[in-house]
């Protein structure tokens, strides 16, 4: 009986924690939220400027950026920071990397 | 459908199981210390001892769930070796190793309850000191790689978990252990089953 009680309480406690964590989870809407912009980079010694495509990443875009702590890690490239290239270059595992 | 797919089930289960396992093992440590210090009273030792054992095994089952859920997480890429062998994890190897070693120690301690006849009371008590190592390693593991225990959450957990434990350890070390009352041999109770 003691073991049954322990198992039942443990299962319910785990389900409650899973529910709480899922509740606090902010669903990621599809692809990482990135805003592409084009900037002009002046050429060397007055040469013709280059066009460069830049992605502005918002915080919390990578996977596992569900919690406050992982958002900090995921948001290491913050809004306003120019990130050249593909967002896949970001660290995939964002949780606990701080 | 898309909302459900966006929820990392394995990751949530791994975190929840880890937190519940830490809670159960902490309760087991408190109960063990409470019995040895007689804080919980001398009468219900047999029932408390049974709960002490049950909590360890329940905590171990949650550790197993924690490890299995990590195997199914598509992001963290943990293999079987990463959750079984210390320092084999590709992510935070030292901190993960602390959890792996703590789990193996907890398993050894749980099994030792059944081996008491073979290893003897003194050997079993000496082996039981490994529970402090396992406890410290598991708390360290939770605080370093636990996603939900950074910042204020981690400090609160450390205070809640470590505070009573330190108090009970101090009580155990400083206060003399009360000697058991001597009774006639015929009146001695039989040893609790499996103890």
Per the model's pLDDT, the better-predicted residue between B193 and B59 turns out to be B59
Q: Are B51 and B40 in contact (CB under 8 A)?
A: no
Mean pLDDT score of chain B: 86
Query: If you search the block for the tokens 């459908």, which residue do you land on?
Result: B1
- The reported pTM is 0.70
C-alpha–C-alpha distance, residues B192 and B36, integer Å: 16
| pLDDT (tens digit per residue) in B1-21 | 455 566 789 999 999 999 999
The percent of residues in chain B predicted with pLDDT above 70, rounded, is 87
- Residue B23 host element (H or E): helix B9-37
Tell whether A33 is within 8 A of chain B (Cβ): no
Query: What's the complex ipTM?
Result: 0.78
What residues does A83 pair with on adjacent strands? A55
Q: Are B45 and A50 in contact (CB under 8 A)?
A: no
What residues does A91 pair with on adjacent strands? none
DSSP state of B69: H
Q: Could B12 and A22 be called an inter-chain contact, meaning their C-beta atoms sit closer than 8 Å?
A: yes
For residue B49 the two structure tokens come to: 């001892």
Q: Are B108 and B128 in contact (CB under 8 A)?
A: no
Q: Is the pLDDT of residue A30 over 60?
A: no
Q: Could B7 and A70 be called an inter-chain contact, meaning their C-beta atoms sit closer than 8 Å?
A: no
Distance, in angstroms, between A60 CA and closest chain B CA? 13
For chain B, how big is the Rg over CA atoms in Å? 19
When pLDDT is cut at 50, 70 and 90, the band that residue B189 belongs to is very low
Helix (H, G, I), strand (E, B) or coil at A56: strand
Q: Could B146 and A95 be called an inter-chain contact, meaning their C-beta atoms sit closer than 8 Å?
A: no
| Chain B, window 30-89: residues with a beta carbon less than 8 angstroms from a chain A beta carbon | 50-51, 54-55, 57-58, 61-62, 65, 75-77
């Amino acid at each position: 009986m003691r073991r049954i009680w322990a198992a039942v309480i443990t299962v319910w406690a785990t389900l409650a924690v899973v529910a709480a964590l899922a509740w606090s989870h902010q669903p990621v809407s599809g692809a990482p939220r990135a805003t592409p912009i084009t900037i002009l980079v002046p050429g060397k010694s007055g040469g013709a400027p280059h066009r460069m495509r830049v992605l502005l990443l918002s915080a919390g875009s990578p996977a596992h950026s569900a919690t406050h702590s992982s958002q900090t890690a995921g948001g290491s490239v913050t809004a306003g920071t120019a990130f050249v290239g593909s967002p896949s270059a970001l660290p995939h595992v964002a949780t606990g990397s701080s | 459908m898309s909302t459900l797919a966006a929820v990392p089930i394995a990751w949530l289960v791994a975190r929840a199981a880890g937190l519940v396992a830490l809670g159960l093992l902490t309760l087991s440590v408190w109960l063990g210390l409470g019995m040895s210090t007689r804080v919980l009273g001398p009468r219900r030792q047999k029932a408390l001892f049974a709960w002490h054992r049950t909590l360890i095994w329940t905590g171990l089952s949650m550790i197993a769930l924690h490890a299995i859920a990590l195997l199914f997480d598509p992001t963290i890429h943990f293999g079987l070796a990463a959750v079984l062998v210390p320092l084999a994890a590709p992510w935070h190897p030292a901190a993960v190793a602390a959890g792996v070693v703590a789990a193996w120690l907890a398993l050894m301690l749980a099994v030792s309850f059944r081996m008491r006849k073979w290893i003897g009371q003194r050997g079993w008590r000496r082996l039981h000191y490994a529970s402090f190592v396992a406890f410290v390693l598991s708390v360290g593991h939770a605080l370093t790689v636990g996603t939900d225990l950074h910042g204020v959450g981690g400090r609160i957990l450390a205070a809640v978990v470590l505070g009573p434990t330190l108090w009970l350890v101090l009580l155990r070390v400083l206060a003399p252990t009360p000697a058991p009352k001597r009774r006639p041999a015929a009146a001695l109770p039989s040893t609790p089953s499996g103890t």
